[in-house]
């Protein structure tokens, strides 16, 4: 049984489909969870906005150094930091503008880097867990996803490097690697796909929660596929 009693966690992207599932699982296991949001609209329909064990931090841009530092500075005794915040775009390389490249790098790679850095600062030499989110196109070549794959490959490389750098502090760093997650948005975008094959956010949240937990005693430097049947 996962036990986060008396432990604090950060979940970036916590108001999204996967984020909500992760926040719920950590709260269920006893964690006090900090959730940053950029705009108040992100809280629409967020079931944990008024939960006693959830602290919402509004108006934060996690690609901004000062905002990232402010978020993590508001935590005490941080144990787990889960970095789900990110973005997606696809298209042929010949029509992919530099603005798209920069946006994906900022949303995926930069937010992850700053969140990892600030989490490591707060954790210091105490035991802790960091879980990032890469993506299958970063590991398996996928047409028309060059910019997205590159930004998520940066997350994977960052994860592997930090897993070695922070090991002596007993801070385990891992990443999950999703394929297509069964969300309302993905179903709307791909109405004819085999939705039953897609992993559910709640299923993936179980893997995330374990990697972020004290019960994960030895796993670090892993890029964990969470593909389901997809």
Cα end-to-end distance, the chain, whole Å: 28
Question: Rounded to whole angstroms, how far apart are CA atoms 106 and 103?
Answer: 5
Per-residue pLDDT, averaged over 167-171, amounts to: 97
pTM for this prediction: 0.97
**In the predicted structure, residue 76 carries a pLDDT above the cut 90:** no
**In the predicted structure, residue 70 carries a pLDDT above the cut 90:** yes
| H or E element in which residue 27 lies | helix 17-28
| Cβ–Cβ < 8 Å for 115, 68 | yes
Per-residue pLDDT, averaged over 206-211, amounts to: 98
| Cβ–Cβ < 8 Å for 103, 53 | no
Per-residue pLDDT, averaged over 165-178, amounts to: 98
Q: Which domains does the chain have, with CATH numbers?
A: 8-226 (3.40.50.720)
Considering 38, 48, 79, 148, which one is annotated as catalytic? 148
Per-residue pLDDT, averaged over 65-81, amounts to: 96
pLDDT at site 230: 87
Q: How confident is the model at residue 59 (pLDDT cuts 50, 70, 90)?
A: very high
Per-residue pLDDT, averaged over 173-195, amounts to: 94
pLDDT at site 17: 96
Per-residue pLDDT, averaged over 90-97, amounts to: 98
Percent of the chain, pLDDT > 90? Answer: 97
Give the residue carrying structure tokens 């989490």: 119
pLDDT at site 164: 98
Q: How does pLDDT run across 97-136, given as a tens digit for each residue? A: 999 999 999 999 999 999 999 999 999 989 999 999 999 9
Exposure of 114 in the CB half-sphere (CA atoms within 13 A): 23
| Cβ–Cβ < 8 Å for 224, 201 | no
227 is catalytic: no
């Amino acid at each position: 049984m996962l036990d986060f009693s008396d432990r604090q966690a950060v979940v970036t992207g916590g108001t999204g489909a996967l984020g909500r599932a992760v926040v719920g699982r950590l709260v269920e296991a006893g964690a006090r969870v900090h959730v940053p949001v950029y705009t108040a609209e992100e809280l629409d329909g967020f079931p944990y906005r008024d939960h006693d064990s959830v602290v919402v931090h509004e108006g934060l841009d996690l690609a901004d150094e000062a905002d990232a530092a402010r978020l993590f500075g508001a935590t005490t005794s941080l144990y787990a930091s889960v970095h789900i915040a990110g973005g997606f775009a696809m298209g042929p390389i010949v029509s992919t503008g530099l603005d798209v490249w920069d946006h994906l790098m900022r949303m995926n790679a930069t937010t992850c880097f700053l969140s990892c850095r600030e989490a490591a600062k707060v954790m210091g030499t105490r035991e802790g867990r960091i879980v990032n989110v890469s993506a299958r196109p970063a590991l398996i070549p996928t047409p028309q996803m060059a910019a997205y794959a590159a930004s998520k490959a940066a997350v994977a490389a960052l994860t592997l490097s930090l897993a070695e750098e922070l090991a002596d502090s007993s801070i385990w760093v891992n990443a999950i690697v999703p394929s297509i997650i069964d969300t309302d948005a993905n179903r709307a975008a791909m109405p004819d796909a085999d939705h039953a094959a897609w992993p559910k956010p709640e299923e993936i949240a179980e893997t995330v929660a374990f990697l972020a937990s004290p019960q994960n005693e030895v796993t670090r430097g892993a890029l964990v596929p969470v593909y389901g049947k997809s």
